[in-house]
Amino acid sequence: MDKPAVTPSRWLPLLLAVAIFMQMLDATILNTALPAIAEDLHESPLNMQLAVISYALTVALLIPLSGYLADRFGTKNVFLGSITVFMAGSLLCAAAENLPMLVLARVVQGVGGSMLVPVPRLTILRVYEKSQLLNAINYAVMPALIGPVVGPLAGGYLVEYATWHWIFLLNIPIGLAGLLVARRIMPDVRGERASLDLRGYLMFASAACALTLAVETVSHTRSAVFPLLLAASGTGLLWLYYRHAQTHPAPIYAGHLFKVRTYRLGLAGNLISRLGISSLPFLMPLLFQVAFGFGAGLSGWLVAPVAFASLLVKPFIKPVMTCFGYRKVLIWNTRLMAVLIMCLALPDGVTPLWVWIVMMLVMGVCNSIQFSAMNTLTIADLRPYQTGSGNSLMAVNQQLAISLGIALGAMMLQLWQKTPIGHENLHAAFQLTFVCTGLITLLSERIFARLHFSDGLNLTAGGKNKVKCRHQ
């Protein structure tokens, strides 16, 4: 599609920054407030994972529709609608009187959140020349990375000095500012996509829901029959979608994507490694507040260093990749991540706080390296006609990993808590959960070990220097 014959506003990247900030803030602000919300809704803090999973899963399921809706109704209309729905969902969350109401409100919020980032990003890709894209996207993304740093702190202090309802009401002024800016500067770009692979979309979405619910229901039922049926149904639907993608002329996710070896391995490694990593933002605030009795504000300060370190280490990632190569970095960083997660089982409630802070900082550095390396390598060898579908599937894969990881972490915590040792000592249940989570993360190392030493060479400048650096 040709670029529109209009000059985009120089403030358009700021709009994307506001959208990413809203989504990242909402994704991180809730975790530190979950114990307080659970107390107010008369629920166990260990049963609040659905409030997080419902949002991540909804976003994952609706991301594939963003491109089609933007082509059909225009980027401006879809974006304005997404902010409006997101704010409506936020108001419903603040008004929730029990957990089922909160979960339903989070689904509404996820419907809006699923379009918040893809639509303005798509607009930027379509209205800017290639020579301007990198600066525009960097300008948009860098300010928005503050969201994960601010989120845990804001969530903790709002709970301590106001009420948990304000973590959702905070989205209203930000959303209104986004609406005012979008009405003035958002271009109304439409595409030429005529149809949607509805059958394939429903199969893929149903499979994702079934697999997530299979993990979520394990700890809530005495019989394994229902979770196994859900898991079998999800697996079967994925197989049917794979067969469907081989024959459909325009599937949502083309089957030829999986013929690209680095994409196939990157997607699998992304999913498995995130299963363990994604459970930590949910588990750590519960550990600090429920097991150790720390306040919500202190819990936020102890979690925030992860995002802070991730932000600081970004400029150094490319030199590391250039020196050591993607295969070696991913293998060793995955091993280090797994060990760090298992080491979270060692400190207790009387451990000096600086020990936790150092561990969270190192965790943030490893997180940043892991995510950047996995994401860039996954799409490195895609052809131009594959990048749109490949990027979309990678984004969906990441959101599904978040929802599955939280469900898996919550399931293991609840199962260990029901054992004699976990029932008498809640910290012991957390310790065993961290060990299991670390072992799951370690499994992805075997996937990255199948990479070639030359994989990702096209992503780093100075291939000869990289080989030299490896042998120094």
* Domain limits, the chain: 1-188, 197-251, 257-472
| Residue 132, pLDDT score | 65
Nearest to 241 by CA among 195, 196, 199: 199
The tens-digit pLDDT sequence of the chain (472 residues) is 444 445 666 777 777 778 878 888 887 888 888 999 999 999 888 888 888 888 988 988 888 888 788 888 888 888 899 999 999 999 999 999 999 999 999 999 999 988 887 887 777 777 776 666 556 666 666 666 777 888 888 888 898 888 999 999 989 998 898 888 888 888 877 766 657 888 888 998 898 888 888 887 776 677 678 888 988 998 999 899 888 888 888 888 877 888 888 889 999 999 999 888 889 989 999 999 999 999 989 999 999 999 889 888 888 888 888 888 889 999 999 999 999 999 999 999 899 999 999 999 999 999 989 988 888 888 878 887 777 778 778 888 888 888 888 889 988 998 898 888 877 889 999 999 999 999 999 999 999 999 888 887 766 654 444 444 544 4
The 10 Å Cβ neighbour count of residue 288 is 24
Q: Which residue has the tokens 């949910």?
A: 282
pTM (2 d.p.): 0.84
Cα–Cα distance between 440 and 436 in angstroms, integer? 6
The per-residue pLDDT for 5 is: 47
**Distance, CA of 193 to CA of 73 (rounded, Å):** 11
Query: Does 257-472 match 1-188 at the fold level?
Result: yes
Q: Which CATH class is domain 1-188?
A: mainly alpha
CATH number 3.30.390.50 given to 257-472:
no
Q: Which of 123, 61, 54 is nearest to 92 (CA)?
A: 54
What tokens does 314 get?
A: 């970004």
Find how far residue 229's CA is from the centre of its chain.
27
Shortest CA distance to 334 belongs to which of 439, 460, 455? Answer: 439
Nearest residue to 113 via CA among 142, 97, 89: 89
DSSP conformation class of 294: -
At residue 455, the pLDDT reads 80
pLDDT (0 to 100) of residue 1: 45
pLDDT on residue 135:
66
Give the orientation angle of helix 12-29 with respect to helix 147-161, to 10 degrees. 50
Q: Give the integer Cα–Cα distance in Å for 178 and 157.
A: 25
Helix (H, G, I), strand (E, B) or coil at 14: helix
Amino acid at residue number 306 = V
CB-based contacts of 354: which residues, under 8 Å, 6+ apart? none
pLDDT at residue number 139: 67
Contact 262, 381 (CB under 8 A): yes
Do 68 and 193 touch, CB atoms closer than 8 A?
A: yes
Assign 3-state DSSP to the chain and report helix, strand, coil percentages, each to 5: 80, 0, 20
Cα of 352 vs its chain's centroid, Å: 30
How big is the chain, counted in residues? 472
- Residue 328 corresponds to which tokens in the numbers above? 């070696």
DSSP state, residue 291: I
Work out the number of other CB atoms within 10 angstroms of the CB of residue 206. Answer: 17
